[in-house]
Structure 1
Amino acid sequence: MLFDHRKFVLREIPSGEDCPKNLTFEVNTEKSSSSAVYDYFSTKLADIKHHNGMDASLLELEDKGRVEMVLKYIEDGDLRRWSLLDIRAFNIGLSEWRSKLNCFTNPYMYEQLLEISAMDVIAKGKSYISTRQKAANKVLDKALKIRLGRGFYGECLGVRADGISELSDEIGKQLSVKSATAGLRPIGAVIFMQRRNLKMCLRSTDTATDTSEVAKAYGGGGTPSSSSFIIRMDEYNEWVSGNQDEHANV
């Protein structure tokens, strides 16, 4: 059997004559694959009893609640609901397990899955987020004013992040808040060299702000809250010219 929750899979399922007779597709866009598998086999075992009269079960009673909580968090992320408390931290904390979740290369996968606790995963994710935010804070004092599109799209705060571009999301979001507090557009611009090109990433925590209008005007793209584009060095210099003396007052 093949379980999936992604809509595009429905288009990929072969027709009856092309589909192997021993293969069954179970596609449910309202339930994550992991939850679907768990529910399917739990139901299969519901009518089975051990020789001692006890009902068969996938899990021991002491593991059931903990595992089902993990499955709820996985489903919340898989279906892009993002409704559970600390779901972002959970997804980040779970990332280190992903390399282990392969039944072909890891014969102990099932036993390791039983050890996962949603609270432990969330704690690990929060620790990771905190570490990255502290690293991002170190460059915020170097922020300077950026004239987006030479001022056509307003002004915001920006910072060079060469060598720490992996923190561009955290830096950009914090700059967005700081920029709004300074009376500028609620956008944070993070600039760094990438493969000999100067890249500018724009982030905003303001739902009414569309950063992609700037990115698209310069050949880039993205979403309202997150976008990026490549900018020529001479053009970038025009965006920051005359502002170098102002960053100390930001």
Structure 2
Amino acid sequence: MCHCRAHWNLEDGEGGKERERVDTLPLEKLSDVYLLDFVGPSGFVAEISSKVESVTILDHHKTALETLSGNASIGNNVTKVIDMKRSGATIAFDFFGEKLLARSNISENYAAGSNAVAGAKFLPDSKFEGVGRLFRYIEDADLWRWALPHSKAFSSGLKDMDIEYNINVNSVLFDQEVFIHALDL
């Protein structure tokens, strides 16, 4: 089982408002932890890595690089992908993208009668590019590039939608059909 802690809200900065503490995480039930655009306070990664099989950090912040570089207290089970030329959103999309496509094929195989996991809903190949485009626009705003056509309008419109990104509050957001239709906006 894995746990993901993210710098949640697409509007940069919102995820940092909530202070995560190791004692609030169900680490005894987890083997893999993913920290997306978030490394937590001092000592956070070291403490988590001592209690789980693996920790994967996907981040783009200078502070993450400074916090984690040369830190001897961080275990060998920590994988770091820190790229200050991309947003945390696109780093995560690239990292998990191939897994999403592979799992969508598993779902299709299950429908055809194979032994794959029942009820799995993942991103179909036909929607992958649209999701990638969405993430490129999010990155364009997050890094203040504004290089893509209508990027400021897109970012403003996304913010105006006032979407609740917390899965515990708005579980329907990540339902495949709702998410895919949002890409058509």
- What's the TM-score once normalised by structure 2's chain length? 0.50
- Bigger Rg, structure 1 or 2: 1
Q: Which has the higher contact order (CA 8 A, sep 6+)?
A: 2
- What's the TM-score once normalised by structure 1's chain length? 0.38
